[in-house]
Chain A
Amino acid sequence: MSGWLCATLTADGPEHDLAAMGATPVASSRHAAIGALPDGCHTGVFHADALVAVGAVTLFNRPQLLDALRRDGVILPEDCADGAILLHLYARRGPRGFAAADGMFALSILDGDDLVLVRDHVGTRTLFYTRAGKHWAASASLRALRAWSRLNARLNLNAVRAFLTFAYLPGSETLIDGVSEMLPGRCLRLCANGACYEDVFWEPREDEWDETLPAEAYTTRLRDLLEQAVAARLPAGQPVGVFLSGGIDSSLVTALAARLHDHSVHTYAINFGAEFPNELAYSSLVAAHCGTTHTVLTFDGETIADHLANTVALLDCPVGDPLTTPNMLLARAAARDGLSVILNGEGGDPVFGGPKNQPMLAFEFHRGDPNPMVRASAYLRSYQKCYDQIDHLLTADVLDALRDAPPLERHVQPYLESPRMTSYLNRLLYTNLRTKGAHHILPKVERMTTASSIEGRSPLFAFPLVDAAFAVPPALKLRGLHEKWILKQAVRDLLPPTILQRPKSGMLMPVQYWLHGPLRDLANDLLLGPQARARGLFREQVVRDWMQHRGLVWRRHGQFIWLLLTLELWLRAFDL
């Protein structure tokens, strides 16, 4: 697991608490201690002046950061650890020092008697923290916090409801009551007296654009940044892998990697059997066009069923995306081929305007009620998960316990109504970036790749690229009905026209079909078995109806059952 750092802040024996969580202490002060958990990779211990930190840090703009430190009078050796650079930036500039660091990082710093936690700009790596009595604890692993003896771990029903609505947990809430996930782009100072101070070192913001500028001015800038983002993420002197679905995002990353890398580029595509629709024609076309070493992997229902429980157990917060298991298996195949870094095209939709915005445009066209909650509700509904079915699905006891719970809309409303953005489309992208990007896409990539001891990198989530995208006129991102138009323009010389002009389809998994075959017994045993019944979360009849394809207007029974299945497996893995 990446970033298996652990930190505690207790009045008495912080090292003892750390050891009880399974960590080896690496530094401590009177009240605080930090340590590393076993079996971790990418984790390091870093020193700067009187500061000590533990965490997982990968930087993509080392030369610029070393120059900046040199200007501050700090001369570091060229081969110093990424974490040391980050820690020196903090030592010199405070939390604002993190703003310039383009990378993937989750770090815990022992700063006197305080603990400082840092999560990178877009949320590539994760950190969790909690307070029990007068004690703080933080970790990159929720499982380690679950093992903390001071924490009375109970299921958070609010988070159950959020998971059923989003298929992931969209904010700081986790499924363990009282444990929070850090929001991205933040630096959190935990003090022994119980105080907690948050610094925001980066947040997407809309830059004013010049309507008179031709589109070419924006495409040139974006192309430069795309090349920089991909080049910085290529491993020096090693081959690189790319998850290639055949869509525009992974295809452009493949094309840039093939052009910029001085070693071989391996591409991986997946399908679920010849009888199901797939994107192999597109991915093979891109692979042939870019001259990569292409591997097609076929995962059938039995394979997915066999690996589902293990995949879910790897996640700190459950993700109801059926592609999670194929992602894990794909990363494992890449690791077997000897790769240490694999790129992906994640981020294209939230940063440049993917197809998920169309329903919200239709909603806004018809909107009659100015209440912001109405828009937030529509956004939750646009996820097409269980939002409208929650009252029907949850048992009376659970609904009773949730009677005074804060509304789900709070997870998206601050972004949808944010004064930082003047454009409606940009607010939709901002919402997507800060919810799905930071709490679903990136953590999923990180956990699935790190499980195979490789590093998954997402160039389209690079924060300078995000900044540039928010400085592009929104009508160039969604031009009429053309999604990501400006992105396609920026790479039109790199890819075949078929790829540039094809409509977005997404990777479709035959979940519904498998639930009648290889996943049927698993779903029956898990969702209708004694353990699930004893937990009492869901009405049994509703689950039975869904399993028999009844009770829903839009036939999403397979997706809904998949959500329940994922949640049940996760709860068992975390013993909740």
Chain B
Amino acid sequence: MVFSGMRMRNDDLVANVERSIAHAGAGGVRYTRRQLYYEVCRTLLPPSRVFIAAGQTTAAIGSSLTLTLRRPYPLWIGAIGASLLMSVPWLVRRLPFTLTPPLTEAAFDDALAMYRARHGDPPGLLPDDAPLYLALNDREPDLYDYGLAYALVCQDASIARMLRANFLHMEMACAILSLEEVTPLPDTLIAMLIRAPAPRILLLHDASPEGLQCAADAVALLDLPHGFRVRALGLAPMHALRRHLFAFRGAQPAEHLPASLNLIERAWLRAGYRAEVAALRPVTLLRTLHRVTRPVRRRESWFSGLRRWRTTGYMSWPT
């Protein structure tokens, strides 16, 4: 089988799919076909990218070490070297770039079919045709007398199904629906959200012109009642770039982009790139959503102590 200039034996490919299934489903996570595709891409990631990143890091560290250790350079050169030593790996990790998938979708389908023929259905893989949310729930009439703090709306219906299949709606005590399920917003959901002091819709979209447009038009698109707020959780292009996600190129370059994007994001989108939420590791997606929607109690530290002093006026700047 051929992909991205590499040739692989079928056995190796099936073994890679098997490894990817183990990664995607680690801890009992359930995942979509698209997420498995990206997981296989990660497993097959060409080593060249790793070599390039490692080479850059080694060169930077080596030069900074040389500067630090060779005399008679003054101390400040050593300090610069030491800071480079610390900052270069950090910089390499944070360089904004996305990756090209090493496997076509058709090749992945073939590989998955081969896996199925040998081992049956992958454990944890969700069916593509899972049912949509049932708008009518007349079993518990008092359900809509209570409140929900927010609803998470996903641009991609398969992602909404995946989050529900992993019971994220119970972890976060919220409704999780896809865009197609909430256009228009069901009356039952409005009835519950309206009882929250500040009803919120959290939007999870792809890093693509359509995703960003969907975030920009959400209020009109969902026909939200007065008082409802929309908060876009991403995926923003910078998220995709910083997490080095797999991105496709070839989308129609966007003409109108939100003003909030920075230059790098604009350039990336204008070059026709797009990245999907599905490209995140399933477990990362679940944990990230869980974290960003819950208040986190931080342990007291020296730094938080400083911040507290500032808020109480101790050694604060005059205002």
Partner among A367, A481, A553 whose Cβ is within 8 Å of the Cβ of B27: A553
Does A63 lie at the interface of the complex (its beta carbon under 8 Å from any beta carbon of B)? no
Question: What are the residues of chain B within 8 A of A367 when measuring CB–CB?
Answer: 137, 139
A301 to chain B, nearest CB (A): 14
Q: Is the CB of A554 within 8 A of B146?
A: no
Asked whether A365 and B148 contact (CB < 8 A) given A481-B195, A553-B166, A553-B287, the answer is: yes
Q: Is the CB of A362 within 8 A of B170?
A: yes
Q: Is the CB of A366 within 8 A of B169?
A: yes
Question: What are the residues of chain A within 8 A of B145 when measuring CB–CB?
Answer: 474-475
Question: What are the residues of chain B within 8 A of A306 when measuring CB–CB?
Answer: none
Question: What are the residues of chain B within 8 A of A389 when measuring CB–CB?
Answer: 28
Residue of A nearest to B132 (CB): A368
Q: Is the CB of A423 within 8 A of B195?
A: no
Encode A496-519 as 1/0 by CB contact (under 8 A) with B. 000000000000100000000000
Does B154 lie at the interface of the complex (its beta carbon under 8 Å from any beta carbon of A)? no
Q: Is the CB of B139 within 8 A of A480?
A: no
Alpha-carbon separation in the docked complex, A551 to B147 (Å): 34
Does B290 lie at the interface of the complex (its beta carbon under 8 Å from any beta carbon of A)? yes
The number of chain B residues touching the other chain, given as a range, is 35 or more
Q: Is the CB of B175 within 8 A of A366?
A: yes
Does B255 lie at the interface of the complex (its beta carbon under 8 Å from any beta carbon of A)? no
Does A478 lie at the interface of the complex (its beta carbon under 8 Å from any beta carbon of B)? yes
Partner among B139, B166, B189 whose Cβ is within 8 Å of the Cβ of A370: B139
Please provide the chain A residues from 24 to 76 with a CB less than 8 Å away from any CB of chain B in the complex.
none
Partner among A276, A361, A552 whose Cβ is within 8 Å of the Cβ of B173: A361
Encode A294-323 as 1/0 by CB contact (under 8 A) with B. 000000000000000000000000000000
Q: Is the CB of B283 within 8 A of A553?
A: yes
Asked whether A364 and B297 contact (CB < 8 A) given A389-B28, A475-B145, A553-B27, the answer is: no
Asked whether A275 and B299 contact (CB < 8 A) given A362-B173, A365-B175, A381-B170, the answer is: yes
B268 to chain A, nearest CB (A): 31
A215 to chain B, nearest CB (A): 14
Does A277 lie at the interface of the complex (its beta carbon under 8 Å from any beta carbon of B)? yes
Alpha-carbon separation in the docked complex, A479 to B146 (Å): 6
Does B254 lie at the interface of the complex (its beta carbon under 8 Å from any beta carbon of A)? no
Partner among B137, B166, B172, B286 whose Cβ is within 8 Å of the Cβ of A365: B137
Give the interface centre of B142, B149, B169, B195 by most chain A CB atoms within 10 Å. B142
Partner among B140, B192, B196 whose Cβ is within 8 Å of the Cβ of A424: B140
Q: Is the CB of A475 within 8 A of B146?
A: yes
Question: What are the residues of chain B within 8 A of A365 when measuring CB–CB?
Answer: 137, 143, 148, 169, 175, 188-189, 192
A363 to chain B, nearest CB (A): 5
Q: Is the CB of A552 within 8 A of B27?
A: yes
Q: Is the CB of A277 within 8 A of B299?
A: yes
Partner among A359, A370, A479, A480 whose Cβ is within 8 Å of the Cβ of B170: A359
Asked whether A481 and B137 contact (CB < 8 A) given A474-B142, A508-B297, A552-B27, the answer is: no
Please provide the chain B residues from 194 to 237 with a CB less than 8 Å away from any CB of chain A in the complex.
195-197
Does A208 lie at the interface of the complex (its beta carbon under 8 Å from any beta carbon of B)? no
Does B309 lie at the interface of the complex (its beta carbon under 8 Å from any beta carbon of A)? no
Does A274 lie at the interface of the complex (its beta carbon under 8 Å from any beta carbon of B)? yes
Alpha-carbon separation in the docked complex, A389 to B149 (Å): 29
Does B250 lie at the interface of the complex (its beta carbon under 8 Å from any beta carbon of A)? no
Q: Is the CB of A366 within 8 A of B176?
A: yes
Alpha-carbon separation in the docked complex, A385 to B247 (Å): 37
Please provide the chain B residues from 159 to 181 with a CB less than 8 Å away from any CB of chain A in the complex.
164, 166-167, 169-176
Alpha-carbon separation in the docked complex, A382 to B145 (Å): 21
Residues of B within 8 A of A (CB): 26-29, 131, 133-134, 137, 139-140, 142-143, 145-149, 164, 166-167, 169-176, 188-189, 192, 195-197, 283, 286-287, 290, 297, 299-300
Residues of A within 8 A of B (CB): 274-277, 358-368, 370, 378, 381-382, 388-389, 392, 423-425, 474-475, 478-481, 508, 551-554
What are 24 pairs between A and B in contact, CB < 8 Å?
A274-B300, A358-B173, A361-B146, A362-B170, A363-B167, A364-B143, A365-B143, A365-B169, A365-B189, A366-B133, A367-B137, A368-B131, A368-B133, A368-B134, A370-B139, A388-B28, A424-B140, A425-B146, A474-B145, A480-B147, A480-B196, A481-B197, A553-B166, A554-B287
